[in-house]
Chain A
Amino acid sequence: MRKRIFPTLLWIGIPLLLVVVVISSASVGAADIKILDSLRVLLSKMPVIGGTVDVSKIRPNDFIIILRIRLPRVLLAGLVGSGLALSGAVLQGVMRNPLADPHVLGISSGAAFGASVAISVGLGGVVFGMGGTTAFAFIGALITISIVWRIAFRGQRGAVVGILLAGISVSSLLTAAITMMMVMRRDQLEKVYLWMLGSFSSATYPKVILLVIFLTGALFAILPAAFSLDILSTGDESAESLGIDARRLRRRMIVISSLLVAACVSVSGIIGFAGLIVPHMIRLLSGSGNRRLLPLSCFAGAIFMIVCDTLARTIAAPSEIPVGAITALIGAPFFLFLLWKARAKGVGG
């Protein structure tokens, strides 16, 4: 028997934890603002109780810091964390491979390639409130998706191995191209490398809106298929015998995940670990049923990323540690701990 924590506890607890994490993360940062003042600023913007909060003694710049720097950053981190965790969970299910993660399809390398082109060329400009790098990264990701799609799903294929191979090959090709560009434009090498390490430091509301659009779209497309995905995990043939078009479902899920990953990586670089580990953490807590796994992964992914980003920007303030380093440093030991506990109680890995 799998160990199961009472589902209701999770359904209430995790979203609640997310709200707490969002508010507390928006209250801390490099700037010297009292936590109580941050809370006041945040509360003052809420629809009903906003008017009752006294914010007269707070400096105007503190408003800017909390509402235009920290809050979009926390929101963006949460949305990207959700997106990566959701795509990770979907890809792990659809490929029947526990090691699948959002970056395995080569999309992230495509985004990185687009970004490095933009950086090497010195592209500036502000498009829809986002920099040229974000736009180019997204275009790069989209082009990569279409290439991998064409290779992986050509004709009667659609087998998992083909998809993975196509993704890995395209990814290697793009990484080589990025390397060459970095060597040719040595003066921009650091910028390209830092972009790829991932960061939320340039979070803005337009980026938040972009992610909201993509995440909501992905949720609308994926959640209804949650049960079908459960069936798909039993095997293509048994799924087909139950009326599921395995290949079509897999293709649809991969494309949707890819678009979501493209959006995530374009705004924040390549942040590893979240998409791989968060679904596993949820599985250990509540099993592999997608109707629970997918939404809970979204919430947990958001919490995880926000916590990691908050640490990244406060531990060595005013310097910033790349958030990808924190996700690995926190995620790996925590996951190992959960795994060890699960194995100790006689549950299979």
Chain B
Amino acid sequence: MAVVFSLCLFSCTPATEPPGETSPSIESVLSAISEFDTVRTEPEETETSETAGSLYPMAIDDSYGNRAIIEKEPMRIVSLAPNITELLFDLGAGEKLVGRTDYCNYPESALSIASVGSIDMPSVETIVTLDPDLIIASSIFTEASYEALTELGYTVVVFHEEYDMDGVKDVIASVGAIMDCGTEAQSLIEAMDQRIQSAIEKIDSENRPSVYYAVSFGDYGDYTAGGDTYVNALIEMAGGVNIASDITGWSYSVEKLVEKDPDIILVNEYMLADFMALEPYKNLSAVKNGQVFGINPDLIERQGFRNAAGIELLVSLFYPAE
């Protein structure tokens, strides 16, 4: 194991300084901060500053409380998170994306963008060759990568408040603010709200089904979404009762699963057939009643606009239209 981690910590040093990157002078930074408020949560603030003239330079506090200065409208963005990549496309800023991670697989046009590697250990060299003016990261991003990139002079913002729906909307608004897509961000949020509202109207609070979300099972161990996870929040929002809501974290026991015998089970669509055939899962009532559904885990595990589709899917499964 030591070998693995020493390989991971091998640091890359670029050959040259990133071209075109000049450090802002102290005076311009101070005047920028004093002129504009921190833009983050309320889309309304973005609209007013739009009419007041140029948004940039913009000061923004990210999720770690680090202040980043965005000089001008970002034109070359590297996204270090699948949810951010999706969000940028949703905001109509997809063409500005020049780099993504190996895990950014949606929408399809994202696949044609150059990849910079993994989320926690992106290739700094590749990022340098892409010459971005903004790097946006989310969860899993490491302190080491953050320092490596900021030391080279890159502007890095980390948005990572996704343990509930409000946090997700905050991220949408923040990214929208940075990209000068405040109106698009607002309409995204409104669309999300609307879709979720109409979906949850179908919930019958008297008859909520008990639900289990199988992250993994069998030889790989039993893991599910505990009470403190985002997935749990979505399940509850969609009118399901997560049988694992009393645990924290992800580690579960197959005994408890059989004991609680949930009405509905959700599995990764690629593992559905295996689940139904494996002992002791095949003895579960949900399997016998045909209430095990294969879903695309990205719809509920990856925080972002697609969670609206995720909620719609969950509601349709929990409360099938008669």
Contacts and interface: CB of A to CB of B under 8 A. Distances in A.
A194 B270 CA distance: 21
A30 B219 contact: no
Nearest to B117: A186
Contact of B271 (A29, A31, A124, A201): A124
A68 B219 contact: no
Interface stretch (A47-55, A216-224, A316-324): A316-324
A126 B217 CA distance: 13
Nearest to A180: B7
Interface stretch (B15-23, B149-157, B253-261, B295-303): B253-261
A70 B120 CA distance: 38
A221 B279 CA distance: 32
A319 B251 contact: yes
Nearest to B280: A68
Instruction: Find the residue from B252, B255, B261 having the highest chain A CB count within 10 A.
Output: B255
A291 interface: no
Nearest to A33: B259
Closest 7 CB pairs of A and B: A318-B253, A30-B253, A31-B259, A319-B251, A31-B255, A131-B219, A68-B280
Contacts of A126: 274, 277-278
Contact of A64 (B258, B270, B271, B273): B258
B82 to A, nearest CB: 11
Contact of A317 (B4, B103, B253, B273): B253
B107 interface: no
B64 interface: no
Measured as residues with beta carbon below 8 angstroms from the partner, the interface class of chain B is: 35 or more
Nearest to A126: B277
A43 interface: no
A193 B1 contact: yes
Contact of B218 (A61, A131, A194): A131
B278 A131 contact: yes
Nearest to A206: B279
B218 A31 contact: no
Contact of B7 (A30, A65, A179, A317): A179
Interface string B48-71: 000000000000000000000000
B8 A69 contact: no
A122 B247 CA distance: 28
A187 B119 CA distance: 10
A205 B280 CA distance: 10
A191 B216 contact: yes
A201 B254 contact: yes
A187 B221 contact: no
A116 B115 CA distance: 25
Interface in A10-49: 29-33
Contacts of B14: none
Contact of B221 (A186, A194, A317): A194
A187 B103 contact: yes
A108 interface: no
A122 B269 CA distance: 13
Given A30-B253, A176-B3, 17 more contacts: A29-B255, A31-B253, A31-B256, A33-B259, A64-B283, A124-B274, A126-B277, A134-B219, A183-B4, A183-B8, A189-B4, A194-B221, A313-B253, A317-B256, A318-B252, A320-B251, A320-B253
Interface in A154-184: 175-176, 179, 182-183
A113 interface: no
B221 A199 contact: yes
Nearest to A191: B220
B219 A61 contact: no
A64 B274 CA distance: 19
Contacts of B103: 187
Interface of B: 1, 3-4, 7-8, 103, 118, 120-121, 216, 218-222, 247, 249, 251-256, 258-259, 261, 270-271, 273-274, 277-280, 283
Measured as residues with beta carbon below 8 angstroms from the partner, the interface class of chain A is: 35 or more
23 contacts: A29-B255, A30-B253, A30-B255, A30-B259, A31-B256, A31-B259, A64-B258, A64-B283, A69-B254, A69-B255, A131-B274, A131-B278, A176-B3, A179-B4, A182-B4, A186-B121, A194-B220, A195-B220, A202-B221, A313-B253, A317-B256, A319-B249, A320-B221
Contacts of B7: 179, 183
Contacts of B218: 131, 202
A243 interface: no
Contacts of A183: 4, 7-8
Contacts of B279: 68, 129, 204-205
A202 B281 CA distance: 11
Contacts of A70: 255
Contact of A133 (B219, B253, B273): B219
Interface in A118-171: 119, 122, 124-126, 129, 131, 133-134
A175 B2 CA distance: 11
A122 to B, nearest CB: 8
A33 to B, nearest CB: 8
A68 B281 CA distance: 10
A133 B220 CA distance: 9
Given A31-B255, A32-B259, A69 B277 contact: no
A318 B221 contact: no
Contacts of B258: 31, 61, 64-65, 69
A187 B117 CA distance: 12
B75 to A, nearest CB: 30
A7 to B, nearest CB: 39
Nearest to A193: B1
B4 A318 contact: no
Instruction: Find the residue from A29, A65, A205, A313 having the highest chain B CB count within 10 A.
Output: A65
A67 to B, nearest CB: 9
Contacts of B270: 122, 124
